[in-house]
Structure 1
Amino acid sequence: MQKKMRRNWFAFTTFLLLISLIVGCNGSNETNSQSQSETDGDELKGTITMWGWDTNYIEVVSKEFNKVYPDIKIELTNVAAEDYLQKVQTTLASGGELPDILWGERNYRGKIFELDIWENLEAEPYKFDKSLVFDYLDELTTSPKGEVIALEQSLTPGGLAYRRDLAKEYFGTDDPKELEAMFQSIDDFIEKGKEVQVKSGGEVYMFSSLGELNEIFTAQSQKPLMDGEVVDVSGKMREVIDNVVKVRDAGIVDKLELWSPQWNASFADGKHIFFPAANWAPQYVIKPNDKDGEGRWGLMKPPGNAYSWGGTVFGISKDSKEKDLAWTFMNWLLLTKEGAEASKLVNFYIPLKSVYDDPEFVSSEDPFFNNQDVGKFWMEEIVPELEVPKISASDSVVKDATNLILNLLNSDPDVGTDEAISKLKDEVEAKLPDKEIK
């Protein structure tokens, strides 16, 4: 009997020990998995360098990033977008050190992509899968070699911002859908714009600047600038310039220069109804320039096709000594839900498609826009329609030359499309003497 009890007790204690080992192992695995996730952030240490112009953006997203990766420091050296390419070229020529993360602004991206300084993000160890992001971005992030070398910082969908008070006064409605039905073509803007000029005694314009119109019309054009090795200025820009001239001649656009102090002031002066706007415009342009404008702004789709305006990409320098840290930052910021939440703090929309499956994440009602759901406007009405032509190294040259032609069109009402295109080609030829210009 005693032996039997000892045997039963031994079996029972062995069973308990086995159970405790199983539970212990499971608990240990679960704990290790969580702690591993936490120590991943704790173990990565170092400094990531970058040059760029958006200090507010970096400050906001870095703060969120450091909650996960507290020992990775982001060091930003302030360089203006228009000076960035030259700084990179000067650094390369002098044998200097490039930053770990490279930036590429939309206008100068084609030129900087030609420099052999970028890591291929589709290769090891990054293994970026471009099916994770929106298809149209492929044209904006691929090098001349056909390699994805950068990730888009934000989707930059574009629409029309408008003054609700002026729309109500001159068109009888401030509802975006009703305005979209009213303005389905350039001719509609011209017809209504002439009525506004009469009603306002010539004080109120539909737009403030020819530069605004150029941004919209050029971005809406799906024609690539390059025709093989030929810079096809006429093919890309004739229709754009023709539409600009058409609106100018109708007298419905003011003569302010885009990005000038006068143009900045036009958001609040009550004399201009419509403005081009990408998703970054409310945060960085409209709200700062119309500080008392809460509730009097709206967003609507432009006539014609949707367009993308502006944008910056991030890539990794081939010579970086902190490639792992650089990719950790880029991957977290642009390819995770947490990064999407951080970017949304400054109204940026990361390229990762999956985060927009959540309607609550997409939704973003803005009191400044009379509680219009601007998030759904960008992501449900504009982004699905976006297409862009392939970028080229000649884009920035044509862009700068076009700005000179816009000044000419502003100052001389007798200059028409043919003369403007001829002078535009001359300007481009002077900057690109080795290229065939069409």
Structure 2
Amino acid sequence: MKTLFLFEFKKLLKQKTIWFLVAVTMIAILVLYGFQSVMTATTRQQMLDQYDFLIHLNLESIEGYAHEQEQAIEADDEAWLEEAKIMENNAHQGYEKRLRIKEDYQAGDFEQMLQNQLDFLEVYIDPYNGSGYSIGEQDQLVSNFTHRATYAEKQYLLENQIDPFVQNDYYTMFLSTAYDDFTGIAQEHWQEITNRYSTKGVYYLYQLIQNLYLPAVILIGCFIFGNTFSSEMQEKTKKIRFHQVLPFEQGRLLIAKFSAGYLALFLYVIVMITLPLIMATVVDHFGSLDYPVLVYDGYTTDVMADNQNLDTFHFITLKTYFSKAFLLAITSSLLIYGLYYFFSQWSREPILTALLTGITCYLGLLIPAPYNPFQYLKIDQVITQEIQLQTWNTAFNFTTGILLTFLIGLLFVLANYKFFKRKCDR
């Protein structure tokens, strides 16, 4: 069995097409990181432009109050003169403060910036004062939950001296949550100020995982490594079907082929995880594994308007987040690979097999049932429990996701074995 497995694995490694496709996907990751770098640099410059604008306003105020003092002297108005001096002094302090914060921001020191944002947000975190930060239009206010979560996140960053993501917002740098539902121009403005970017290693990897990166990589890996049978069954290749003539028991042959492909897929996923991490770390920095990730504690009532004031939350570190994400990625890879392999026994075209698998996964994502294994491909939403809020169903949880994807994956493996045995016995 070991010899057969090694034979199948080496056969995969000798295929030039596989290495070509692996190289293409690695290049794609480089392109994605390049795009991320551009967006990060653009957003950082927008932030600096905001500082420059505010500094310019302070300078104009200083000049204006200096002119008012001259007018007050000419008018011999002591009260006006005193008021103008006070206002000029305040403008000077604001100028020096913002200039210092800008210099710190450029140097990578965010302590004063975070403290200013905490001071600004403090008035909004009380759920019973009825106030909220307005976005775009006066009747579209940021939810109290978002205010509280953002305030707690900044406290954590400040206390643990962790660098934040880059955002285009001087005042708040809000953490986007599931409790806000803006429309029109307000929605566009909200996305603009809450979009976060970073070129640091673990931060960049975190953002990739948030965007279904792992399921996509697994599906691509299945396309590259999961065609051990379909490639031999294509009539146009005129190849001998070795799985029908080798002097091995057919069940053992299937296990060897399946295991070799799955090992190659697993190694490919590891490479596609470590590549962006290493690349981003070399270009920028590693980042902090203690960065806080928001986790929702679930809804309190059946009324969302009340829940924004009552619902609670907590944070986990990126270290914990990654460990959960990788566990879900392992069980999800068994699920997707088992499904792909099942389709490959019916289809002789790898592209068709990939399409069938992709469509099945996509349709599964549209069915919000807690015992639908494809729902747990939303790895970020499962870990943060956002999926519970979106579906109003607390049956969704990380443990269920691990068990369900693993068990359904095993069922696909068994189905592959039974189907292949039945074909060989004909």
Under a length normalisation based on structure 1, what TM-score does the superposition of the two structures give? 0.26
Under a length normalisation based on structure 2, what TM-score does the superposition of the two structures give? 0.27
Q: Specify which structure has the bigger relative contact order, considering alpha-carbon pairs within 8 angstroms and separated by 6 or more residues.
A: 1
Flag the structure with higher helix content: 2
Flag the structure with higher strand content: 1
